[in-house]
Each structure stands twice: as C-alpha cells, then as structure tokens.
Structure 1
C-alpha cells in the first residue's frame, strides 16, 4: 500500500473467463462488495468496452446516506483487465479508479489483483473533504474472498 492506492491479490481456483464473467456483470457486484456501500445495480448491462457506463445504487455516511454512482469504464481486456472510475451520478469522475487484473496460473487457477487508486484525484477541496482510502485493505481482501465464493459456488 502507498499513500494513493491499495492493492490486494488472491489466487482463485477458477479460470480467467469464469472470473471475468462475474466481474463484467454489474448485477453481481453487490455479492462481491466488501465495503458494504453497494445496494443494487440500476439496470446495468454487462460491461463490454472502454467507455461503457454503469450506474449503481449505494449507501454510506460519507455521502449522507443513499446515493447513486456512474462508473465509467477506463480499462477493458477480455479475461484480463477491467477498470472504472466512479463518480456521483450525473457528474464526471473526480479521479479514483477500481482496477481488476487477472493472470492465468493454469487452466483453472487465476491470480486476481484488485487495486483502489485515488492518485488521479486533484481537487483539493475533495481531498480535504474525503478521507482516502474510503475502502480499506481489509475490505478489498474481503471482496476477493467474496469473488472466490461467487465463482466457486
């Protein structure tokens, strides 16, 4: 961990295709959420390309209760990479990004690396208001445990 990102990784006994299938479906993100902020997807379609946007229903004290996010896909490589920047619904992303990297370790084993990166946040008012990281390393590790359960179950 450095002062602008948190990265966790886990070896999951599943193929990159099976893991990517879960990650690229925002309707499954609630079951993966180790932070407890996600409530549901808002009619989200499967992620298919950079530039896609999916909306999630969220809840957290840091936003005063219920809110929505628009997630702008910034990285996409089938069975290898998914990344998106999150913003309050209807606004442009202020710079934090979620990155998923998948590396096959055999036909049924994948090293999953999950990064929460806020290094591109430059708004000084936002940096003063929001205490980064909003999601802890332990919560990210819990997300990987939940992903493991989702693809194994």
Structure 2
C-alpha cells in the first residue's frame, strides 16, 4: 500500500466560475480563504494572471517556530478554470508541495470547486522528518472551500 501524498476536497459553490476565479486570484483574499489559520496577510503580490508570478504571504505556525513568510510560485493558470502554486519558505525554491484549485461550471450560476493539496514531490528527507504531511488537514481544506464560497457570493 502506498503512502498518501495528497488530499483533495470539492464542493459546489453558488456562483459562476468567473466570480469564484475572481475571488481566488485576488491574493489579498487568501487570508480570508485559508481554512488552516496559517495565513496572516499578503506581504507582496498582485492578482494572479499567469504562470511564473510569485506572491509572498505572511504566515504563522508552530511547525515553523512562529511567524514566517512563504513565496508562492504560480505553476498553473487557466482563466476561470485552474490556478495552482508551489509554496516555499521565502527566498528559497519550492521543496515540492503545491496547491491546485480547479473550477468546473455545473450550470450558469454554480461551480464545482476542487482543491488539492499535493506533497508528492517532496524528497528532502530532513524536511519530511520536520513536517508531518499532511500539515493542512482535510477539514481545513473544506473550510477553505467554504470561505471561498462566502467570498464569491459577497465579492
């Protein structure tokens, strides 16, 4: 039996895909979207519009000894359908985990949003000893979907 290397959750949001995507790609919304409680605020970054962008978030968590920053490298972008980024401690290259948001319209006013937290490419043995994946639990991801739904409805 193979060890788990990702968690995926999904839900239908009562908003068109364009509205959900708009809320998700405003990086200043990520503190409000985050269901884990780690994200504190945006440090720097603009709306996600393409792969190759990097945005930096202020974070806090015991797993990193308190306050820290992450650089988030956008690795997937398909307007109104997909946005994905690999996260790294600020100033470093991503060590192998990523966040993938996929949006599928179910009808004109509803969108299935799927969030995948994937750590399958983490190979650093010391990091794997320090961080016990999944660091963000399934219920936290589900909370993120609920938060995104609320933001998508209110703007």
Which TM-score tier does this pair reach, normalised by the shorter chain?
A: over 0.9
Give the SS at the match of 1:105. Answer: strand
Following TM superposition, by how much is the alpha carbon of 1:151 offset from its aligned partner in structure 2, in angstroms?
Answer: 1.1
- Counterpart-to-counterpart distance in 2, 1:94 and 1:115: 17
Q: Deviations over 1:58-102 (max 9, x none)?
A: 000000000000000010000000000000000000000000000
Root-mean-square deviation (Å):
0.8
Aligned residue in 2 for 1:50: 51
Aligned residue in 1 for 2:4: 3
What are structure 2's unaligned runs of at least 5 residues? none
Aligned length: 152
What are structure 1's unaligned runs of at least 5 residues? none
Following TM superposition, by how much is the alpha carbon of 1:43 offset from its aligned partner in structure 2, in angstroms?
Answer: 2.7
Following TM superposition, by how much is the alpha carbon of 1:128 offset from its aligned partner in structure 2, in angstroms?
Answer: 1.4
Aligned residue in 1 for 2:86: 85
Q: How does 1:1-153 map to 2 (within 5 A)?
A: 3-153=4-154
Q: Deviations over 1:7-54 (max 9, x none)?
A: 000000101100000111110011111000011001320011110000
- Counterpart-to-counterpart distance in 1, 2:8 and 2:127: 22
TM normalised by structure 1 equals 0.97
Could you list the structure 1 runs, at least 4 aligned residues long, displaced by more than 6 angstroms after superposition: none
